A and B are shown apart, each in its own frame.
Chain A
Amino acid sequence: MEKRPCISVGQIFSMLFVSRMVITMTYGTLLIGDSDIWDHLISAILSLSITFLLILPIYKLYILDTKMNILDNLRDLMGKLGHFFILIYVLYFLIITLHTLSIFDNFVANCINPPISVRLLCIFMLFSACYGAYKGLEALSRASSFIFIATVLALIFMFSSLISSVETINFRPLIYENYSSVTEGILYMISQSSCLVALGILLPMATGSSRKKFAGIILWNIGVYVSFVLMIILITGTMGEFVSTQLFPVYTATSIGKFGAFRHLDSLYLGIWMAGIFLKTSLFLLLASEGIKKIWGEKIRKISILIMSILLSICVFFINNFSILKKNSITVFLITFLIFNIILIPIILIILKNKKISKESKIFEK
């Protein structure tokens, strides 16, 4: 019998929070282009509502059978065709891992410019994450609790350090020019919501009542977007117009922030960000391997982690500066993929599940 991982609701959401925050922390012109960051305040509020809507199909599917995740349902309800869709999920997780690595690559290359090979560092990160994925969900979720606490404390510390530097003159009226920035912001934020797909797989794995999980979803989402809003307010208030000239404004803001005798909070930023990137990469590699496990079993899962890491490391070497991953086109691509994975497939599964339930109840009545 398959051993179910023993993870709590809190651990799941701390893992997802950290995975989402590492992307939020690298939010900047490199990823959003010329879009106005200040207008993204409205985008964040709207995205919060949209995210709640996006979660509904996954949650409904979970409520129908609290023991089965999307992958289980695909295998159970669709048979061989389900295997094909599972592979699509695997592909999605791998693309997200590659996307995360691209952010890492760009951040290291553009902000720190270390005298070591960025590619080498990327591969080192990838294979370390491979170990994390190999160790399994329990290990990752436990580690995520530590990283979550460190992240929250560091964010509070960084936000506090920036408050004194905020100048209200930097706050312009919202939607001063047009709505395009708001739309772009929403698209960007939703495209980065890959954790929603992860949620569809992880939710049944957590111990705890559905009520607790529902509360977790609400708190997690609000937490993510409140942090986003605070971040936008603080970086805009601190840097004003300079925000649009910075590739990674949050990092720049932390490097100029002061908290009493504490300066150079960028080192703190680097610490938690690195841990978060590690966690996210490990988690998505693990989720990809979960898909493999559903098709080919546990033994292949373990081998697949290594194979996927090798494949990704080849991609890291051959995709020059990840140019394909940092353009606007990737946003549309990621959103399409996301909608497919969290709306389309779950809705089909809900229909099939309902049919199965009604069929079973009819047999039972007979």
Chain B
Amino acid sequence: MNAVVRLALLQARRDRGILAAWILGIAGLGYAAATAVTTQFGADGERAALVAVAAASPAFLFLRGLPDGISTGAVTFFQGYSFTAVLAGLMGTFLVVRHTRADEDLGRFELLGSTPVSRTASLYATLLLGSGANLVLALAVAAGFAGAGLPATGSFLAGAAVGLVGLFFVGLAAVVAQIMPSARSTNGTAAALVGAAYLIRGAGDALGTANMSLLQVTPALPSLFSPIGWGQRVRPFTDADPLPLLMLGGAAVVLGGAAVALRSGRDLGASYITADESGAERAGGGPASVGGLAWRLQRGTLAGWCFSAAVLGGVAGGLGPVVRDALAKNPSLMELMSRLVPGDATMVDLFTTAMLGIAGVLAAAAGIQAVLRLRAEEAEGRAEMLLAVPASRFRWLGAALAVAAITTTAVAAAAGASAAAVLAVMEAGGSSPGVVFAAALAHVPAALVFPAVTVLVFALAPRWSSPFGWAALAVALVLGQFGELLGLPVWLQDLSPFRHSSAMPVEAFDPGGALLMAAVALAAGAAAGRLIRKRDLAA
């Protein structure tokens, strides 16, 4: 037991900066949302209007969650819960992978394993650290809500919901880490499961049933299959129900136990899904050049991203018509909606537009991940060998950037193609498949800005490239989703590249914004190509 605590302290020591950033960021987002609701929507009437508009927009319900009355606490929870829960899930996932499969990949486990500690001690330590981190997160979120003036009991329950979702994903990631063969595939799979939990909850919420006043929506069946959906059912500020909290905690314990059992049953470095151990003897047309290598390293990951994007596109295309048909049964809601919807945009188009916006974010994330491969290559010493042959740094960086651009475009295209195909098959009406496909591609210029500025930071200060890239995406997402709720000035909201891409098919295509973003991306990429020559290669 003593060894477990010492190992947990060691892991906490390694993580102190990154965990502090995650916890403060998530709690800060909650605090900001609560403050915005209590100050800018202080009157009951204002909140009722906000909620009624949201209840009439299934796309909004999909992205955000379910309205549950008009108290300040309920509105804050409705606006902020889903996003904070996703972030908590990602925090837990990355925490676990850092200390399990990643340490095993890098051989650090072997050194620890040679000391007199049990085979599972390190995993117990990671689970302990994950529990501690999520406990602190729960308290921080609760403090943020209470500090912004929300009722104390509700704040505490809301914080507990977020923290327990985080804890659930700590357990889940620990299981995935035993099954997948590498840190990269573990991170990808576990993060995709967080995304799936969000999407399933979204589907359930979009199909939810509004009550007569349109101020409260009951979720449909699918959200019962999502841990994020469970947390939402706590309803901390209205009709509080602690049962879902117990379910989340119980599931986390079961998952943690399963991870420990799986770990005891396998060799160090082994995994339940094994990677291919042999392959081609000759490089052939593959990795025989810097560009070929960049492509070869990315292609598997690219396939994974495209698969996720196609699933998202399929949900976008398939859910819109279903939601429309469900709503047709509620005449008062239909009536409200027809007043709210601008111009002659159909319900299906609105839904598609919102979902393709997420596809744009996914495309940006794929691009960031692709250029951050440069950082891994340098930090792990492979760049040293590659750049000792007559290959220029410019070519090395350019190849990675080109592959990132292909990745970003392909992810957007996969989402668009799949959405267009499903819409066509369902004969849903709305925009033509060509327009839907174009709508997905319209997000590409803005999405390309993210890999381009990330690679620029890499050229200047490689150590900061990964935190900067992901933080930039998170900030853009918060600006886009919460900018108006928080009443942020327009110039600040305009810093998000996504503000400059056209929300097709509801909006018309705006070439100006797309060209501006493409120019920013090109300029950042070109500057990186020049600057990479001017610094030492990090050893």
Q: Do A and B come from one complex?
A: no
